[in-house]
Each structure stands twice: as C-alpha cells, then as structure tokens.
Amino acid sequence: MARAAQESELPAIDAFVRVVGDGIVARGSAGAVAGLVAALAADLAAQVETSSGEWNERGGVLAQADAIRDRAISLVSEVQRTYRAALSELARARTTTAHETSGDAELAQALNDVADHLVLIGEVANDAAELAELAARSGQPSMRADAIAATILAAAAAEIATHLVDVNLVVTREDPRAVLVGELQLSAIAARNRATSIAL
Amino acid sequence: MLVQRCRAGDEAAWEEIVDRFSSYVYAIAMRFGLTGDRAGDVHQDVFLRTFTQLGSLRDPGALKPWIAQITRMAAVDTLRAQARELPSVEADSISDVELDLDEIEEAMAVNLALDELPEPFGDALRRFFVEDQSYRTIGEALGIPAGTVASRISRGMSLLRQLLDADPGD
C-alpha cells in the first residue's frame, strides 16, 4: 500500500523537478529557479506551527508565508519573461553587424529588467528567511528542523539572486541594485545563521 | 436610523450612506471585471437608484444587501451595454458571473479593522499585505529592525483577529 502510494507520487515529483529541463521554467533561467526555491522556503515555513498553537499566533506566520510564497511564484513568471526577452535581444545582437547598433538600447533595457527582477527575488528570499527564522524560534520544537531548512533554502535563493545580479552585463559593482541585493543576501544568511544556532 | 434620517431629508445621513458603501459598491463592480470609468458609472448609477428608491426599502436594516443587489443589477446592465459595443464581450457569459459577497464583506471588514489597529501595527500590515512591501522596506519606513518586522506583523494579525471577533460587522 505504502509502495503504491510512493509510486503514485513519483510522476508529480518528477514533473516538479523537470520544470526547468522541460522548459516550463525558461531553460537556463537560474533566476526563476531562485524564485521557486524562495517559494518552497516560504511554503515550508507555512507548515511550521507556532508554539502557542492558537490561531492568532499561527495565523500571523501562515498569512505572511502565503503572501511571500505567492509573491515568489509571481516573480518566477516575471523573471522568466524578462529573461526570455533578454535572450531574444542577445540573439538579435549577435546577428547584427557592428554598424547596426540600434538594438543596443533594447538589449541594455532587457538586461536591466532582468536585474530589477532579480533584486525582487532577493527581497522575497530574504523575507522568507526572516519569517522562517521567526518560525524556528517561536514554532513548535518538533517542527524546528523544517523551519531551519526553510531558512537555508531562502538564503540559497538570495545568494543565487546576488550572483546573477553580479554577473549581469549592465550592472556595475557600484550599481545600487548590486549593493541592495548584496545586503539582502547578507541579511538572509544572518537569519539562516541565527536559526541554525538554535538548539534542536 | 440612517435610512429613516435620509428619508426625512437629512443630507448628512445621505452622505454617510455614500461614504460607508462606496468602497463596497466599487468592490462588487470590480468582481464583475469593471474598472475605471465603467466602475465609476456603476457607482453613480447605484447611488442614484438608491436615492430614488430608498422609500421602497421595507427593512431599513437590510440596506447593505439591498445596495449589493442594486450594484449587481447595475453591473450587469453595464456589461450588457459593453457587450453591445464590443462583440468580444459575450453577453451569455454575464449570467455566469459568480459573486462571493461574503468574501467582499470580509475584505471590507478587514479594511475597516486595519484603520482601528494601533500604530505601527496597522501600517505594518497594510504595507506588507496591501502594498507588497518587503520586511526591509517596512523596517526602514517604520524605523524598526527588519528582523523584527515579521513578528510585529504577527502581533498585528493577532490584534486584528481580536477586533474582527469583537465586531463581526453589520
């Protein structure tokens, strides 16, 4: 019976893992994957009940986790859109001659759009890390490991976003977006470290 | 009381009705997919009908559901007119519009309760849930560490629930 249940779950798990390879999430869009990871982190945090067990306490964490997860999912779609547009502009740039520079502005705009949305991924990842840390601190001890896992996932998503902004062709080191996403990454990592330092 | 005062020609009472139910009317219109000028047309139509037909309202306590019903009729009228103007809008689909008035009323109650929350709880909740601001942005705006924003919002949610439980609305 348990084996049958496991086998019935496999297609769904397989489909989830293949969202990138099958092109549901734009192939190679690590930014979209970061958004998915942030959404997973928020979802995991949502499952952690707080210590009091009363609606008021639990509801606050659940409602925030739902909101963060929904934002992350929405951003996955937005990041994909901007990423596909940037790929399209890059392909166009490769086929144009040195004298045809009219597309440069469009390419720069497309890359700027990608960077803007990656910063938003960094924000939502940091929010997921902060909320998961709260859940780790105040939630039921039996669920603490899940909350800590959520902070680890969220911090990873923030790190991915920061890395992708850093390597974006139009973003310099002094660019405010690079500074901001770097701070968000550090904030998410700090939340993760606080959570992992809580005794299980 | 409000209805009786209005029937007696009390202008302040009428203004209070408009003020109290304006958002409600807009919310219902938006559930029909009406925005901008069309939602404004429905709003105007609803309060015109409300004003002229207020004498026919038998139960003054049923003002809210009565306005909801008028709004639905006005919204359907607007959609039908739109369907005549724009062939892409299928008139048949209008009757399929399902409204969840309970959901709208709950949203309205939450909105009112948010106004009653002590600061900075109300502000924090609005910024997070309504304006989609991040903890960092909220922390900067409210002058509190970003790391405490999530717990502040949780506390605000707790207070909000107490308010809603104490005053379930009309």
Q: Is B44 on the interface with A (CB under 8 A)?
A: no
Contact A130 B135 (CB under 8 A): yes
Q: Supply the pLDDT for residue B93.
A: 52
Please name which of A163, A181, A142 lies closest in space to residue A51, comparing C-alpha atoms.
A142
* Nearest CB partner across the interface for A130, out of B146, B156, B162: B146
In Å, how far is A149's CA from the nearest CA of chain B?
Answer: 18
pLDDT tens for B12-42 read 889 989 988 888 888 888 878 888 888 889 9
Contact B158 A191 (CB under 8 A): no
Q: Supply the pLDDT for residue B137.
A: 94
Q: Supply the pLDDT for residue B7.
A: 86
pLDDT tens for A17-47 read 777 666 666 666 889 899 999 999 999 998 8
Contact A134 B161 (CB under 8 A): no
User: Average pLDDT for residues A121-143, to the nearest whole number?
Assistant: 92
Residue B61 neighbours by CB distance under 10 Å: 12
Q: Supply the pLDDT for residue A51.
A: 47
Question: At B169, is the pLDDT very low, low, confident or very high (cuts 50, 70, 90)?
Answer: very low
The residue ranking higher by pLDDT, A8 or A127, is A127
Cis amide prior to B120 (ω within 30 degrees)? yes
Contact B117, B155 (CB under 8 A): no
At which residue do the structure tokens 């299980």 appear? A200
Q: Is A64 on the interface with B (CB under 8 A)?
A: yes
pLDDT tens for A80-117 read 888 888 888 888 888 876 555 566 788 888 889 999 99
A88: its two tokens? 């399209």
Q: Which of A51, A56, A62, A120 would best serve as a mutation to test chain B binding (most B beta carbons within 10 A)?
A: A56
Q: What is the DSSP letter of A198?
A: S
Contact A56 B162 (CB under 8 A): yes
pLDDT tens for B78-127 read 887 776 766 555 545 555 555 566 666 677 777 777 888 888 888 899 89
Contact B126, B110 (CB under 8 A): no
Q: Supply the pLDDT for residue A182.
A: 95
User: Average pLDDT for residues B64-71, to the nearest whole number?
Assistant: 86
B99: its two tokens? 């409204």
Q: In sequence order, what are the residues at sequence separation of 6 or more whose Cβ sits closer than 8 angstroms to the Cβ of residue A86? A: A107, A110, A111, A113, A114
| Whole-angstrom distance, CA of residue B10 vs CA of residue B12 | 6
Contact B135 A126 (CB under 8 A): yes
In Å, how far is B59's CA from the nearest CA of chain A?
Answer: 37
- Which residue of chain B is at minimal alpha-carbon distance from A183? B136
Q: Is B151 on the interface with A (CB under 8 A)?
A: yes
The per-residue pLDDT of chain B, averaged, comes to 81
Q: Supply the pLDDT for residue B90.
A: 53
A138: its two tokens? 């105040």
CA triple A55-A37-A10, angle to 5 deg: 90
Q: In sequence order, what are the residues at sequence separation of 6 or more whose Cβ sits closer than 8 angstroms to the Cβ of residue A181? A: A118, A119, A122, A158, A161, A162, A165
Q: Supply the pLDDT for residue B153.
A: 92
Q: What is the DSSP letter of B95?
A: T
Q: Supply the pLDDT for residue A48.
A: 79
| Whole-angstrom distance, CA of residue A138 vs CA of residue A198 | 11
Question: At A180, is the pLDDT very low, low, confident or very high (cuts 50, 70, 90)?
Answer: very high
Residues A126-157 as b/e (b if ≥16 CB within 10 A, e otherwise) read bbbbbbbbbbbebbbeebbebbbbbbbbbbbb
The residue ranking higher by pLDDT, B141 or B101, is B141
Contact B161 A187 (CB under 8 A): no
The per-residue pLDDT of chain A, averaged, comes to 84
Q: Is A151 on the interface with B (CB under 8 A)?
A: no
What's CA B76's distance to the chain center, in Å?
18
Q: Quote the pTM value.
A: 0.70
Q: Is B157 on the interface with A (CB under 8 A)?
A: yes
State the sign of the Cα–Cα–Cα–Cα dihedral A136, A138, A142, A143.
negative
Chain B hits for A127, Cβ within 8 Å: 134-135, 150
Q: Supply the pLDDT for residue B25.
A: 87
Q: In sequence order, what are the residues at sequence separation of 6 or more whose Cβ sits closer than 8 angstroms to the Cβ of residue B11? A: none
